Chain A
Amino acid sequence: MTDNIIEIKNLYRYFDKVKALDGVSLDIKRGSVVVVIGPSGSGKSTMLRCINHLEEPTSGEIYVDGELLTGEQKQLNEVRADIGMVFQLFNLYPHLTAKENITLAQKVVQGRTEEEANRIAMEKLIRVGIAEKADVYPSNLSGGQQQRVAIARALAMDPKIMLFDEPTSALDPEMIKEVLDVMLDLAEEGMTMVVVTHEMGFARAAADEVIFMDEGMIVEQTTPDGLFNNPQHERTKLFLSQILQH
């Protein structure tokens, strides 16, 4: 039994001639919070999406909890149920209420009863602070509320790890905090998280490790302290100077 919940070995992902991932290796420790930063097109989303095979790797190996992903559907479905994913555009199911969004996969994938799924859904909605919106459809929720439902939806599957792909990028400024607060709580409770974000405040407060990616490669892997006070690479310095200006 290894300490690493995720192990990525020599991961490549090409889109025709574009090398979205150009040899990435990374271990993610159980209970750690890893923040991924890097310029647009550097492969952050692609790496995240390869972890649960939403994007199929061109080559390389991914181990989830010690198990090598083979690409076989049954295995993938089982592994994906254990990996929560939160998207930039929320991707809630618009034809279902907040609560139904959270119960669907519980019932269909995990075989929970309606009652049990409902109970867990309410539990998670309380946790993200919007229990009163249980019966509301996504179109009647603000962006921040939608993203919190999306987080609750992922949590209801009892994930071993949560992946976030720019969860606050599509939000109005006044809603960013409510989502980040939920994520900070999660981090504090010991959830393993991989977070692609430009929110440096979150990185500083919650990250155990920060990874800087550029051109499909991991350029620098360090602590938040190391990143902000002592970046090693020119490209990292340049990127930081660009985003910290704002």
Chain B
Amino acid sequence: MGDIYHTDPEIETIEDLSGKRTFASLPWWLYALILVIVYTAWSVYTRENLREAFDFIIQGIGTTISAAILSYLIAIVLGLIAGLGRMSKNIIFNNIATFYVEFIRGIPMLVLIFFIGLVGVPTAISWLNELGFTLITNKDISTYSRAIAALSITYGAFLAEIFRAGIQSIGKGQMEAARSQGMSFGQTMRYVILPQAIRNVLPALGNDFVAMVKDSSLVSLLAVGDITYEAKLYSGSSFRFKEAYTILTILYLMMTVALSSLLRVFERRLRND
């Protein structure tokens, strides 16, 4: 069963060809990255200026992490629905899903964050209110919620294409076997197609989560207090740009290097069983 996405094929190949790790095949780049991180951590510990910047910026870490995770979970649901829609024979469902995916893919993410956060969400709320659901007004919608909406709607469209590719990678014999046993389309999707498709796209989903962690920095544009926003705030008031953006850079690097390494281990395990 072939995965449709691979990460870092060149590393795997060196290892596979030689059977064991050679000096040249060791991940030197990874050691270098870790060294940079460790060196910075040491500097934070020893240097007053850096520590001050760090203490300020780290206040945003909870927001960064929660925004990334929450948006990603919502994006998975949106992506699954839209991915199924893209393959649906129902013309309306199919067109709505395709409109959504193409719309999002046609716009830079930076612009999307502004558009969804400042135009999309308020417009949707006032339409709802006009329809008589006066549960919330635009004033009640926090910038954090707008940011979550923006990130998850954007990523939902990316994930839709991943899910679609995953489902299409499952041979049509599976659908036929299940339908021939009397399973409905929905039951077949749930018990036969999706379990296989999701397994196939797990590596791609993992990569996109790492990307989401990085792109969550865009929510700072909506004045949400993530680490990027805190860094901007700190450097703006203290004029210590060097310290602020060094810390910020290293924080993202730490998260993505750790996540990518975890994913690589997980992927190898997946491929081996």
Residues in B neighbouring A176, C-beta threshold 8 A = none
Contact yes or no, A89 B173, CB < 8 A: yes
By a beta-carbon cutoff of 8 Å, the part of chain A in contact with chain B is 52, 54, 73, 77-83, 85, 87, 89, 91-95, 104-105, 108-109, 150, 153-154, 157
Cβ of B268 under 8 Å from chain A: no
Of all chain A residues, the one with the shortest Cβ separation from B196 is: A95
Residues in B neighbouring A80, C-beta threshold 8 A = 179-182
Residues in A neighbouring B174, C-beta threshold 8 A = 91, 93
Q: How many A-B residue pairs have CB under 8 A?
A: 60
Contact yes or no, A105 B173, CB < 8 A: no
Residues in A neighbouring B191, C-beta threshold 8 A = 104, 108
Contact yes or no, A157 B182, CB < 8 A: yes
Cα(A52)–Cα(B181), bound, Å:
10
Cβ of B121 under 8 Å from chain A: no
Contact yes or no, B181 A93, CB < 8 A: no
Cα(A83)–Cα(B154), bound, Å:
45
Of all chain A residues, the one with the shortest Cβ separation from B176 is: A54
Residues in A neighbouring B180, C-beta threshold 8 A = 52, 54, 80, 83, 85
Given A95-B195, A95-B196, A95-B199: A105 and B176 interface contact (C-beta under 8 Å):
no
Contact yes or no, A109 B192, CB < 8 A: no
Contact yes or no, B177 A87, CB < 8 A: yes
| Min CB gap B219→A, angstroms | 37
Given A93-B192, A95-B196: A108 and B173 interface contact (C-beta under 8 Å):
no
> C-beta contact mask, B163-183 vs A, less than 8 Å → 1, else 0?
000000001011011111111
Residues in B neighbouring A108, C-beta threshold 8 A = 183, 187, 191
Cα(A106)–Cα(B28), bound, Å:
53
Residues in A neighbouring B123, C-beta threshold 8 A = none
Cβ of B184 under 8 Å from chain A: yes
Of all chain B residues, the one with the shortest Cβ separation from A153 is: B181
Residues in B neighbouring A93, C-beta threshold 8 A = 174, 177-178, 192, 196
Residues in B neighbouring A82, C-beta threshold 8 A = 182
Cα(A216)–Cα(B180), bound, Å:
23
Contact yes or no, B196 A157, CB < 8 A: no
Residues in A neighbouring B184, C-beta threshold 8 A = 73, 77
Given A93-B192, A104-B191: A77 and B177 interface contact (C-beta under 8 Å):
no
Residues in B neighbouring A153, C-beta threshold 8 A = 181
Q: A82-B182, A94-B1 are in contact. List 7 more A-B contacts (CB 8 A).
A: A80-B179, A81-B182, A83-B180, A87-B173, A87-B177, A157-B181, A157-B182
Given A94-B196, A95-B199: A105 and B1 interface contact (C-beta under 8 Å):
no
Contact yes or no, A78 B182, CB < 8 A: yes
| Min CB gap B273→A, angstroms | 10
Residues in B neighbouring A95, C-beta threshold 8 A = 195-196, 199
| Min CB gap B48→A, angstroms | 56
Of all chain A residues, the one with the shortest Cβ separation from B180 is: A85
Residues in A neighbouring B179, C-beta threshold 8 A = 54, 80
| Min CB gap B184→A, angstroms | 6
Q: List 16 A-B contacts (CB under 8 A).
A: A54-B179, A73-B184, A77-B183, A77-B184, A82-B182, A83-B180, A85-B180, A85-B181, A91-B171, A91-B176, A91-B177, A94-B196, A108-B183, A109-B182, A109-B183, A154-B181
Of all chain B residues, the one with the shortest Cβ separation from A163 is: B180
Of all chain B residues, the one with the shortest Cβ separation from A150 is: B177
Residues in A neighbouring B199, C-beta threshold 8 A = 95
Cα(A190)–Cα(B24), bound, Å:
67
Cα(A73)–Cα(B177), bound, Å:
16
Residues in B neighbouring A105, C-beta threshold 8 A = 178, 181-183
> C-beta contact mask, B200-236 vs A, less than 8 Å → 1, else 0?
0000000000000000000000000000000000000
Instruction: List B8-23 residues whose CB lies under 8 Å from chain A.
Output: none
| Min CB gap B181→A, angstroms | 4
Of all A-B residue pairs in the complex, the 8 with the closest CB atoms, nearest first, are A81-B182, A91-B177, A105-B181, A91-B173, A85-B180, A80-B182, A109-B182, A77-B182
